[in-house]
Amino acid sequence: MQTASETEQPVQPAAPAPAQEAAPAAAPAAPAGQHHQAPAVYEDSFDPASEARYQEMLAKQHQPARALSEFKRTKLEADAARNWDIFYKNNTTNFFKDRHWTHREFVELRETGDALPRSRKLLEIGCGVGNFVFPLLQTNKELFIYACDFSPRAVEFVKASPDYDEACCKAFVNDITADALADHIPAESLDLVSAIYVLSALPPHKMQRAVENIRSVLRPGGVVLFRDYGLYDAAQLRFKAENRIDDRFYARHDGTFSYYFSTEFAKELFGNAGFEVLECAYVKKEFVNRKEDLHMERVFLQARFQKK
């Protein structure tokens, strides 16, 4: 599963319900008009005035009378795999853009120049239909990539691609919150794990198990490359009370989930599993629609965690 925009476009100001605007793996189309995207800013926190304004906006989502029932929450969690399969059935391989930006943000994804072909091992969790795997295999001949996804249909699309070659990649179905990765990958054998817009699709109470599962196949000194939705992202602020499940955790219209990470939570999540924080910061991107005089801030969290 993939859960955010590769292009990270602004949220459409006149969009329908936030559940639709935050569809898995893509931000909504930008509104018509002239747009300006300021350079990304990497920061550890928010200024007090902005945080107070965001907290006031989020407070409007706390309406118990409109909140999801416990039955509905339980059903959404039980139907998670089915909902992702339906998503891929409806969208096939046409929904996502290839992630050509990842090697610019994470130097670990670049060729070192002194490694043998396919000698460095990487796992992508939430591989979707291969928009990360296949571009990376073309640019980095040193990597062998394992790719897993919650959705059997997504994995079928990966294996059906003409670019799929088990000499350089292996795709398999896996629920990282329940299925041992070590059943498919030798323990402590990986150099890298990419967790890009995927943990946000999990219920928070299952995230610790997922991170510990990742740790089991990562070698000492190996690194997790993490990028996901950040706290106070424009998409989070536009959710309504009926989408809110818990603090920073929401359900979309299609039954998939969206969680918005703080730096504190991410550090604690990986720290509890025996990781050292190499980098952890908010990536803030301001989008301006001059025609409609709208300013929107997308917020993502980018981090690198190293296994001790």
Give the DSSP H/E element, type plus range, for residue 101: none
Residue that has been written with the tokens 């979707």 in this structure: 128
Measured distance CA(184)–CA(172) in Å, rounded? 8
The DSSP call for residue 261 is B
Write the CB contacts of 162 (distance below 8 Å, at least 6 apart in sequence): none
pLDDT of residue 21: 30
23 lies in a domain?
A: no
Please check whether residue 24 lies inside any domain of the structure.
Answer: no
Residue 14 inside a domain? The answer is: no
What length is written for the chain?
308
Q: Tell me what pLDDT residue 98 has.
A: 60
Residue whose structure tokens are 């536009």: 238
Strand partners, 144: 121
Can you read off the two tokens belonging to residue 12?
């459409």
Query: Is residue 1 in a domain?
Result: no
Residue 29 has what pLDDT? 38
CA distance 217 to 185: 7
Q: Quick check: 4 pLDDT over 80?
A: no
Mean pLDDT of 302-308: 98
- Backbone dihedral region of 274: left (phi > 0), alpha (psi from -120 to 50 degrees) or beta? left
Burial of residue 131 (CB within 10 Å: 0-12, 13-18, 19+) is: buried
Residue-wise pLDDT for 271-301, tens only, equals 999 999 999 999 999 887 777 777 789 999 9
Q: Name every residue whose Cβ is closer than 8 Å to that of residue 21 and which is 6 or more positions away in sequence.
A: 11, 12, 15, 27, 28, 235, 238
CATH of the domain at 234: 3.40.50.150
How far, in Å, CA of 23 to CA of 187, rounded? 34
> 0.95 cut: is pTM over it?
no
Residue 202 has which token pair? Answer: 């999990």
> Percent of the chain beyond pLDDT 90?
65
Average pLDDT over residues 165-193: 97
Indicate if the alpha-carbon torsion angle 69, 149, 267, 59 is positive or negative: negative
**Domain-located, residue 64:** yes
The pair of structure tokens assigned to 76 is: 């959404």
Domain hosting 303: range is 32-307
Residue 302: CB atoms within 10 A of its CB come to 21
**Which pLDDT belongs to residue 96?**
54
> How confident is residue 30, by pLDDT bands cut at 50, 70 and 90?
very low
Domain presence at residue 13: no
Q: What is the pLDDT of residues 109-138, one digit of tens each?
A: 999 999 999 999 999 999 988 989 999 999
Q: Is residue 187 scored above 70 in pLDDT?
A: yes
**Given a cut of 90, is residue 139 above it in pLDDT?**
yes
> Band of the pLDDT at 82, cuts 50, 70, 90?
confident
Token pair 């817009």 is found at 197
Three-state secondary-structure class, residue 57: helix
CA distances from 275 to 42, 122, 285 (A): 22, 17, 28
Structure tokens of 193?
Answer: 């794990």
Torsion sign, CA atoms 91, 94, 97, 98: positive
What pLDDT sits at residue 22? 32
pLDDT tens string 56-71: 999 999 988 888 888 8
Residues in contact with 50: Cβ distance below 8 Å, sequence separation at least 6, in sequence order: 232
pLDDT band at 97 (very low <50, low <70, confident <90, very high): low
Structural domains of the chain, count: 1
Banded model confidence at residue 75, pLDDT cuts 50, 70, 90: confident
123 is a domain residue: yes
Q: What is the pLDDT of residue 135?
A: 93
Whether residue 5 is contained in a domain is answered as no
Least confident of 21-25, 141-145, 170-174, 233-237: 21-25
User: Residue 8: what pLDDT?
Assistant: 45
Q: What's the pLDDT at 213?
A: 98
Whether residue 159 is predicted with pLDDT greater than 50 in this model: the reply is yes
